[in-house]
Amino acid sequence: MQQVEITREYIEEVEEAIERKDSAFVLSTMAEMHPADITTVLYELDTNESKYVMDLLPPEVGAEILSDLDYDIRTDFLGYFTSEEIARYINLMDSDDAVDILNEQSVQTREEVIALLDNEEKAEHILDLLHYEEDCAGGLMGKELIKVNLNWRVRHCIEEIRRQAENVERIYTVYVTDKRDILVGRVSVKKLLLSRDDTPVKDIYNPDVISIESFRDENEVVNVMQRYDLEAIPVVNIQGRLLGRITIDDVVDVMQEQAELSRQLMTGITENVEEDDSVFRISRSRLPWLVIGMVGGLLAAQFMGVFEADIAMLPALALFVPLITATGGNVGIQSSSIIIQTLSSNVVIFENFAQRILKLVLVALLNALIISALVFAFSYLFRHELKLSIVVSVALFSVVILASLMGTITPMILDKFGINPAVAAGPFITTANDLLGLAIYFGIAHLLYEM
């Protein structure tokens, strides 16, 4: 297989080939393509065209494509497949991928597909995994793994590994269990190959193995695998019995979902939406924070009315309002983004709290000094009004300090109360900083010009 560039011209050629039922062209051009590249092609075709291509491809390729399809697209797409066709692909998938797909189907389709599976062991694995919630370790794990008994000898282990490896795509490590199937350690394939055939496993295995309970949240799985740099992690029940394993590809999927959710929340999108979703759903996901921003803007306008006399006396004050509000919003978002990233990695942020705040204040002071000095220089250079330049620079200095503190403390407070700190970013912090920034700006102007 080789990586290819998917061009608009090639998509059109495929569409024309499908229209004239030229299966030879489709198969010949996709024979050396990676399933991920074929998936890209399918995204550009309509459902009937994609179904035509899938029917031509080898089942192994089709199974990999279905595993990689986006949830929304796959759910609609599989509506064009019979239970027999779905079962053909499920037979060739890892159990965790198979369960993800079956959970998207109706109860009737799910039961029909399981009944049609040729591999009884695969069917048992799927039925076992269907009991778990999707967002816990049990819902992420696959049943395919290599395990050996603590009391076996190396010769027996190698024979068993050959038998089990037929159903395991990637062998990261060999897990060691006792007679009750309790996970007790691990042993590398290299060590097994280098040991004598009659060597007992208990003499060469490593009892140092990191595992995770099946009920643990998917975020805990991500944190553990990141912390210890694992490619796979065994999953056990509360008694320590080995149930399955979670591989790095499943964890990457969770990390991508988390990053997408954080991005949407920080930009004021309250639902998980895609570009091809309905107009109503996309609008509904964006509207709440837009309304909050609108309310904040109205409050800011009303707030400026309090200083109407000052603006009438010196209209030039209004020229710098966008500078004050934009700078405060930007500083607040920068500070909150760093804190949210730290909180998402489960770092105990309240340890050494005083040192963190001191560092924050020092960074804010340095940024505030540089920005206010630049603004003072530009303002005085172009307008030649000393008092106005002082007002703008002092106000900007104060706004940067205050916005830094707010952007840092607000996510921490929300996290302490169990509220997703990502929702504190974006419009919320920006609106709050706008109001406080205007208060500082006009307050300083009022005091200085009254003197």
The pLDDT of residue 286 is 62
Q: According to the model, what pLDDT value does residue 71 have?
A: 79
Q: Produce one character per residue of 153-187: b if its CB has 16 or more CB atoms within 10 Å, e if not.
A: bbebbbebbeebeebbeeebbbbbbbeeeebbbbb
The pLDDT of residue 18 is: 93
* Dihedral sign computed on CA atoms, order 109, 113, 115, 120: negative
Asked if 224 and 246 touch (Cβ cutoff 8 Å), the reply is no
- Euclidean distance between CA atoms 104 and 82, whole angstroms: 14
Q: Are 406 and 434 in contact (CB under 8 A)?
A: no
Question: Could you name the CATH architecture of 279-450?
Answer: Orthogonal Bundle (1.10)
**Regions of the chain with pLDDT less than 50:** 348
DSSP H/E element including 234: strand 232-236
Q: Residue 92 — φ and ψ, nearest 5°?
A: -105, 5
Between helix 8-19 and helix 35-44 the angle, nearest 10°, is 80
Cβ contacts of 417 within 8 Å, gap of 6 or more: none
Highest CATH level, class, for 8-134:
mainly alpha
Strand duo 174-177 + 147-149: pairing: parallel
Distance CA 310, CA 175 (A): 75
Cα 174 to Cα 159: distance, rounded to the nearest angstrom: 13
Distance in angstroms (rounded) separating the CA atoms of residues 52 and 167: 29
The reported pLDDT for the residue numbered 435 is: 80
Give just the sign of the alpha carbon dihedral 433, 436, 437, 438: positive
> Which amino acid would we find at residue 445?
A
Q: What CATH class does 147-253 carry? A: alpha beta
Domain ranges of the chain: 8-134, 147-253, 279-450
pLDDT at 262: 63
Contact 25, 13 (CB under 8 A): yes
Tell me which residue has tokens 């000094």: 369
Q: Please, are residues 26 and 17 in contact by the beta-carbon 8 Å criterion?
A: yes
pTM for the structure as a whole: 0.65
pLDDT at 201: 93
Give 202's contacts (C-beta < 8 A, 6+ positions apart).
150, 151
CA angle in degrees (0–180, nearest 5) for 132-273-79: 60
Query: What is the residue-wise DSSP string for 320-384?
Result: GHHHHHHHHHHHHHHHHHHHHHHHHTT--TTTTHHHHHHHHHHHHHHHHHHHHHHHHHHHHHHH-
